[in-house]
Structure 1
Amino acid sequence: MVQGLPNLQEHEKVCSGCAVSKNNRSSFDKEGAWRASQPLELIHSDICGPMQTITLGGNRYFLTFIDDHTRMCWVFFLQHKSQAFNIFKRFKSMVELQSGHQIKKLRSDRGGEYTSLDFSKFCEEMGLERQLTVGYSPQQNGVAERKNRTVMEMARAMMHEKKIPLKFWAEAVNTAVYLQNRSPTSALDNSTPFEKFSGRKPGVKHLRIFGSLCYIHIPTQKRHKLEDTGEKGVFVGYGVCEKGYRVLNLRTQKIELSRSVIFDEEAMWNWETSEALQIPMSWGDGASSTVSDLDSEPNLLQQQIVQYPMETQTSSDVHATHDSAPLEPYDHTPKKWKNLSEVYAQCKMSIIEPENFEEAVKDEAWGKAMTEEILMIEKNSTWELVDRPSSKPIVGVKWIFKIKLNLDGSIQKHKARLVAKGYTQKPGIDFNETFAPVARLDTIRTLIALAAQKGWKLWQLDVKSAFLNGVLEEEVYVDQPDGFVVKGDEDKVYRLRKALYGLKQAPRAWYSEIDTYLSQCGFHKSPSEATLYVRTKECVGTLIVSIYVDDIVYTGSSDEMMKEFKAEMMCKYEMSDLGLLHHFLGMGVTQTEGSIFIHQKKYALTLLDKFGLKDCKSVSTPLVATDKLKREDGSDAADENLFRKIVGSLLYLTATRPDIMFSACLLARFMHNPSKMHYGAAKRVLRYIQGTIDYGIEYVTGKSALLVGYCDSDWSGSEEDMKSTSGYAFSFGSGAFSWASVKQHSVALSTAEAEYVSAAEATSQAIWLRFVLEDFGEEQTTATTVFCDNTSAIAMAKNPVFHQRSKHIKRKFHFIRDAIQEEVIELLYCKGEEQIADIFTKALPKDRFDYLRRMLGVKSASTLEGSVKM
C-alpha cells in the first residue's frame, strides 16, 4: 500500500487509548435470541407505574409475568412496588400447580423490588436462576417491556373509545391482558397464548366491547315483584375466579359480577351528564358479506341477553358481588362476516405503528402502504437509478409509518413515508435555501370570518406526497430503500430529480412549485401573506386560496370558479378532495347556513387526558383575579419539563380560545424554574378547560365586513419588573379573529404611556389586516376604528403637544400619529367596562370574565342555533 515501511507481524492487542476514546455501546443481537422449549422454563417480568390516577382498589402499579414459551401473560395490581415479592410467591404456586411445570428462570430488570434480600434469598432456596438486565439496558428485558407497552396502548384505546374515566385503568389493563391471551400472535405461528398454555382453544363467544352500556339482572331475592328486574351498568371486564361479567352498577357505583347481562354495544355512558349516548359502530357497518341476504338481518350489535361461558381467568385485582347461579348455554349466531385482520384489530383496540421496516413488512397493510409510496415516487419521476458517484455524498433514507385517524378516532389509512436523512446534508453542497412560508393562524381565521360574513362555503384539498413534486436545483443522491432494492443493481443509487420528504430543501422546493403553478393559473399572490392567492374574474366572482404546506383551503363567491380550480389542481397533482372544510391545523370547523364555528374540542380532551385531569372538577375562570404570580414566590420547585409541556399545549389551544390567551402567555413567563404555585396555576387553567371543553368561536353571516379593533393595557402588571401588558382584538362585529396578549418591552411611566404603546401595537396589526382584507377584495375604504379607554393616550396620539410626558417614548410607537393623520385608523374612546381587550391584560373576576368572553364570540357549541354537533 505504501513504500518505506518494513513487513510487520499483526498482533491482537487492545489499544487502551482506542478503548477509552472510541468505546461504543454493543448492539443487541436479535438473531441469537433464545426461546424456551417448555412452559415456565423462562418467565419475563416487569412493573409499570406509578400511574397518576389511583384505581378503585388503591393501586398505582401493575406487575406482569410472561411465559416465554407460550407467551401467556398474568397481571397483578400493586399499591407499592414492595408488594412484588409476595405476589411472585403467590404467582409461582398458582401457575406451577395449574401447569404441572416449574419455573426455572426469571428475567427482570434491576429494580429494587426484584433485587431485595428477601426476593434473592427465596429464588436461591427455590433453585430459580435469575437473569437481571445490565444497567440502562431495558432491551435485555424486551419481551416484558414490549408487553407492558402493548397492554397500555390497548387499555388507553379501549378507554378512549368509550370515554371511560381514568380511575378504571386497572379494569382496562386487566381486560387487555385477558383479550391478548386469547388473540393470535405471530410469535406462536398465529396460535393463541391460552391454547399454547392450556392445550385447548379459547372460547370467544362471550367477548363484548369494553365500556359498553349494559343492563344487569337483579335476582328475585333482592327485589319486590313490582320493582324493575334490571339496572343500568357499564361493562368493565371479565370475572377472575367466577364465570361472569364485571359490571359497574351506575346506581350504587360498585362493581358487581353477573352472568345475565343485556349488552347495548352501540351505546356508551356520558359520565358528565349521567345519560346514555348512542354511538353508531362504523367498523361493523362497513364489513362485507359473502351472503347477499345477510344485510337484511338484525344488527349483531343490538341488545342481546348473554349467558356467559368462559375459561378460568389468569388476572387479578377483583372486588365483586357474586352470582353463583348455574350457567346456561348460549347460541350466538353471527349476522355478518368480517375480515379476520379487522376482527383482530377491533378486539385489541390497540393502534401500534411499526418502528422500522422489519416490523412493518410482517403486516400486509403496511406492505401495501410502502408499495403505494414507491409507486407515487416513480409516478412523479422523482428519481432515476444511476451508478454510485465517487465524489458526491450519498444521503440515506428510512421508512416512517403513521396511522391517520378520522375525527372519531377510527383508522383512515395506513401511511408509509419514505424520508431522506436530511440531517446528514451539508449546506452549500447538498442544499442552499430552505425557508418556506406557511399561513399564519390570523390569516386563516380572517378568511373563515370573511367566508362566514359573506355566506361562502370553505373547501379543502390535500396534495398527496406534496414534497415529491418540488423540483431540485442541487445534485442529490440517495440510497435504495429497504424492501425495494433493484435486483442486479444493488450497488446503484438514486439521483433525485425532485424532492423527498426529509431533505432540507424539500419544503422550499414544494413552495416554489405550487407558487409558480398558481401564478401561471392567473392567481395574484398577496404581498402581505405569501401563502395567500386571489383570482378575480369580472362579472364572475372572486376565488381565495390559502396554502399550508400540502393542505389547501379555498373559498369564494363563484361556484363555477371553485369547481374550475379543483379540476385544475386534480389534473396537475395527485389530490384528495376532502370536501367541505371540517378539520384544519388541529381546528374543528363546523359550517352551517348562518355561521361558521371553530373549536379544538378533540385536542382539549387529549390535553386533559394527557395530564391526568380528564375527571377533574372544573372552575369558572382560568386564573384567580386576586392571585399574583411571581418568579420567586417561596414555594417548592415544580417539574420544569411537565410545566413546559402544559404551557406549550395551552398556547396551541389559543388558536380558537382567546379566553385563555392571557393565562397561557402569563404562565409562559415562568418556563425557567417554575414553582409549585406556577404549576398550580397551570392546572387551574386545565380545570377551566374541563368546564368549557366544547367552547369555540362563532362567526355569523350578515355582519358588515368592517374591521373593528379594541386595545388595552394593564399598567405595571408585572410586579417584578413593573412592565405593562398590552392586549388587542379585531373582528367584523361577531367573533374575534385576531388577538394578542404581549408583555411590553419597556417600563411605562404612566397609564397613558402604557395605553399609548398598546394602541401603537394594535395599529400595526390593523394596518396588516387592512392589507390582507384588500387582497381578499374587501378593501377598507374608511378608517379602521380602534377603541381605547384612556383619553390621555388618545390625545397623545392625535396631538404631539404633550412633550414633557411623552418625549422619552420610543420613536417607533409614534407612527400611530401618521396612521391617524392619513385616516388609516381612528382612535376612539370607550368606557372601561366596554373594553373587550381587558381580557388579554389581567386576570378577571367571574362576571366580568364571562361578559368579555361572550363579547369575543366565544361560546359553547350547545348554545348555537341548531345545536352544533362535534
Structure 2
Amino acid sequence: MDVSNAFLHGELDEEVYMNIPQGYKALKEGLVCRLKKSLYGLKQASRNWYFKLSQSLLSYGFKECQADHSLFTYADGSVFLAILVYVDDLVIAGNDSFACAKFKEYLSNCFHMKDLGVLKYFLGLELARGSSGMFMCQQKYTLDILDECGMLACKPSSFPMEQNHRLALATGPSFSDPSKYRRLVGRLIYLTITRPEITYAVHILSQFMQEPLQAHWEAAMRVLRYLKSSPGQGIILPRENNLELVGFCDSDWASCPLTRRSTSGYLMKLGEAPVSWKTKKQVTVSRSSSEAEYRAMAHAASEIIWLRNLLACLQVQCDSPTLLYCDNQAALHLAANPVYHERTKHIEVDCHFIREHIQSKAISTAYVPTKQQQADIFTKSLGGKTFHDLQSKLGVHNPHSPT
C-alpha cells in the first residue's frame, strides 16, 4: 500500500515558518506563513511522518521490532500480521486474509491510502510467485544499468572478475569521469540485494571511489558484461523450506597488497534460501590465517545474533543453536576453548564474544572442507567452474536459462 502525501500527516513540534507561496498576497508587508504540518524538504519531515505512522500502528496493536525499526508485527491468537515500512510504502503480509482486509480499512481511515494489490514490484525488486515458491530478481534495474552505460549489446562474460586481478596495484591514466564511476558502483551495490555472486567484485570496485583509474572502469565493465549474460538471474525462496538458520564464514588472509589486511565473507541461509551475505575488509592486520578466520567468525556471529532476534520478531523460534561453518580447524579450536593463549592476547576483545554465544548455545561451530565452503565466493575472485558451482549452492538461479 502507498500513502498519499505522507509527509503532510506529520505533526510539527517546532515553530517553522516559510515565505508566502507564489499566487498569494499577504495582508500586510513582511508577513510569513507558519507551518502546521511537515513539508517535503524539511529535515525533520521523515522523522515526523514515521512517528505519526508508528503511533497509528501501535494503537492498532502492532509491536515495533527492536531488531529492525521498520518492521511492525501483530499477533492475536492464530492471526499474525507483519508490516514492512519504507517511507510511505507499506508491505503487508499475514496468514489471515480477513485480518489483512480489516487492517487495510483501518489504515484507509487514518490516511489517504492507495492499495496496489499483490506485491510484484517494490523499490526495484521484482517478485514472482509460483507453485514452488517465490522468485526475486532485479531484471529491469539490471537492464537500466546496462543501457545507461551503453552495454546492452556487449559481449557477455561467464564470471564477473578476473582471478588475481591486482586492481589495488593498478597504474595508468585516471578515469575521465569519476562521478560516473561512483554512480555505477552505487547502483551495483544495490544490485547485490538479489545478486550475491557479484558481492566480492563490487566490494573491490568500491575501494577506488575517490580516484578511479581507467583500469578500474574496465573492471566495472567486466561486471556489466557478466550481468549481460543473465540479467534476469535472482534468488529463489522455496515454498517447501525448513526454517533452520545456517551460516558460512571464510576469509582470505592478507589479500590486500597495500595494507596486507584480510578479507572476511559470510553467508546466512534460512533453509535453502540465502537471507544475508557480506564481504568486508578486516580493520586490522592478522598475523596468521587462523587469526583472520577467527575474526571472520566474529563478524558472522554478530549477523547470526541479529538474525535470530529478527526471526523471533516474526515468530520463528530458533530453539537449537545456529550452526556456523568454518574451514579452518585452528580458528574453530580457538572459538571453542576460552583459554588464555600467549599467541592470541593481541586479538581484540570484541572478537572473543563468539565464545560466549557458543557457551550460551546460541551458536555452534562445525568444520566444512574448503571445496564445500559456500562463503568462499565472498572472499576472492574465482574461475569459471568453481564460480558457477558455488553460485548454484547460494540459491541463485536464472529461470530464463535453457534446461
- TM-based fold match above 0.5: yes
Please tell me whether the aligned partners of residues 163 and 383 of structure 2 are also in contact (alpha carbons under 8 angstroms): yes
1:477 equivalent to 2:8? Answer no
Structure 1 unaligned blocks of 5 or more: 1-460, 866-870
Q: Distance in 2 between matches of 1:840 and 1:806?
A: 26
1:773 equivalent to 2:311? Answer yes
1:696 equivalent to 2:234? Answer yes
1:623 equivalent to 2:172? Answer no
Residue type of the alignment partner of 2:248: Y
1:498 equivalent to 2:37? Answer yes
Residue type of the alignment partner of 1:774: A
Q: Distance in 2 between matches of 1:662 and 1:771?
A: 27
State the Cα distance separating 1:861 from its structure 2 match.
2.8
Q: 1:713 aligns with which of 230, 246, 251?
A: 251
State the Cα distance separating 1:481 from its structure 2 match.
3.0
**1:188-227 map, 5 Å:** none
Distance verdict in 2 for CA 1:863–1:701, change over 3 Å: farther
Q: Distance in 1 between matches of 2:260 and 2:28?
A: 69
Residue type of the alignment partner of 2:41: G
**1:194-343 map, 5 Å:** none
Residue type of the alignment partner of 1:636: P
Q: 2:354 aligns with which of 803, 816, 821?
A: 816
Q: 1:593 aligns with which of 126, 131, 138?
A: 131
Q: How many residues align?
A: 402
> Which has the larger share of helix?
2
Q: Which residue pairs with 2:378 in the alignment?
A: 840
Q: Which residue pairs with 1:638 in the alignment?
A: 175
RMSD (Å), alpha carbons: 1.8
Q: Which residue pairs with 2:224 in the alignment?
A: 686
Residue type of the alignment partner of 2:88: D
Q: Which residue pairs with 1:376 in the alignment?
A: none
| TM norm structure 2 | 0.96
State the Cα distance separating 1:537 from its structure 2 match.
0.7
State the Cα distance separating 1:733 from its structure 2 match.
2.2
Secondary structure of the structure 2 residue equivalent to 1:616 = coil
Residue type of the alignment partner of 1:748: S
Please tell me whether the aligned partners of residues 729 and 739 of structure 1 are also in contact (alpha carbons under 8 angstroms): yes
Secondary structure of the structure 2 residue equivalent to 1:614 = coil
Deviation per residue, 1:584-627 (Å, 9 max, x gap): 12211212233111111111111111111111101000001132
Q: Which residue pairs with 1:550 in the alignment?
A: 88
Q: Which residue pairs with 1:654 in the alignment?
A: 192
Deviation per residue, 1:341-391 (Å, 9 max, x gap): xxxxxxxxxxxxxxxxxxxxxxxxxxxxxxxxxxxxxxxxxxxxxxxxxxx
State the Cα distance separating 1:493 from its structure 2 match.
4.1
Please tell me whether the aligned partners of residues 711 and 788 of structure 1 are also in contact (alpha carbons under 8 angstroms): yes
Secondary structure of the structure 2 residue equivalent to 1:578 = coil
Q: 1:537 aligns with which of 71, 76, 79?
A: 76
Q: Which residue pairs with 1:107 in the alignment?
A: none
Deviation per residue, 1:639-663 (Å, 9 max, x gap): 3222222212211211211111110
**1:504-515 map, 5 Å:** 504-515=43-54
Residue type of the alignment partner of 1:709: G
Deviation per residue, 1:300-357 (Å, 9 max, x gap): xxxxxxxxxxxxxxxxxxxxxxxxxxxxxxxxxxxxxxxxxxxxxxxxxxxxxxxxxx
Q: Distance in 1 between matches of 2:25 and 2:96?
A: 50
Q: Which residue pairs with 1:517 in the alignment?
A: 56
Please tell me whether the aligned partners of residues 796 and 802 of structure 1 are also in contact (alpha carbons under 8 angstroms): no
1:737 equivalent to 2:271? Answer no
State the Cα distance separating 1:687 from its structure 2 match.
0.7
Secondary structure of the structure 2 residue equivalent to 1:774 = helix
Please tell me whether the aligned partners of residues 56 and 110 of structure 2 are also in contact (alpha carbons under 8 angstroms): no
**Structure whose alpha-carbon radius of gyration is higher:** 1
Residue type of the alignment partner of 1:559: S
Distance verdict in 2 for CA 1:654–1:760, change over 3 Å: same
Q: Distance in 1 between matches of 2:301 and 2:234?
A: 26
Distance verdict in 2 for CA 1:470–1:815, change over 3 Å: same
Q: Distance in 1 between matches of 2:128 and 2:302?
A: 31
Q: Distance in 1 between matches of 2:17 and 2:175?
A: 48
**1:66-77 map, 5 Å:** none
State the Cα distance separating 1:495 from its structure 2 match.
2.3
Q: Distance in 2 between matches of 1:491 and 1:577?
A: 44
Q: Distance in 2 between matches of 1:704 and 1:642?
A: 43
Distance verdict in 2 for CA 1:804–1:779, change over 3 Å: same
State the Cα distance separating 1:863 from its structure 2 match.
5.0
Structure 2 unaligned blocks of 5 or more: none
Q: Which residue pairs with 1:560 in the alignment?
A: 98
Higher relative contact order (CA 8 A, sep 6+): 2
Residue type of the alignment partner of 1:478: M
Distance verdict in 2 for CA 1:494–1:721, change over 3 Å: same
Secondary structure of the structure 1 residue equivalent to 2:376 = helix
State the Cα distance separating 1:490 from its structure 2 match.
9.0
State the Cα distance separating 1:731 from its structure 2 match.
1.4
Secondary structure of the structure 1 residue equivalent to 2:115 = strand
Distance verdict in 2 for CA 1:706–1:864, change over 3 Å: farther
| TM norm structure 1 | 0.45
State the Cα distance separating 1:859 from its structure 2 match.
1.2
**1:89-168 map, 5 Å:** none
Taking only the aligned residue pairs, the percentage that are identical comes to 38
Secondary structure of the structure 2 residue equivalent to 1:741 = strand
Q: 1:724 aligns with which of 257, 262, 278?
A: 262
Please tell me whether the aligned partners of residues 133 and 240 of structure 2 are also in contact (alpha carbons under 8 angstroms): no
Please tell me whether the aligned partners of residues 195 and 396 of structure 2 are also in contact (alpha carbons under 8 angstroms): yes
Deviation per residue, 1:409-439 (Å, 9 max, x gap): xxxxxxxxxxxxxxxxxxxxxxxxxxxxxxx
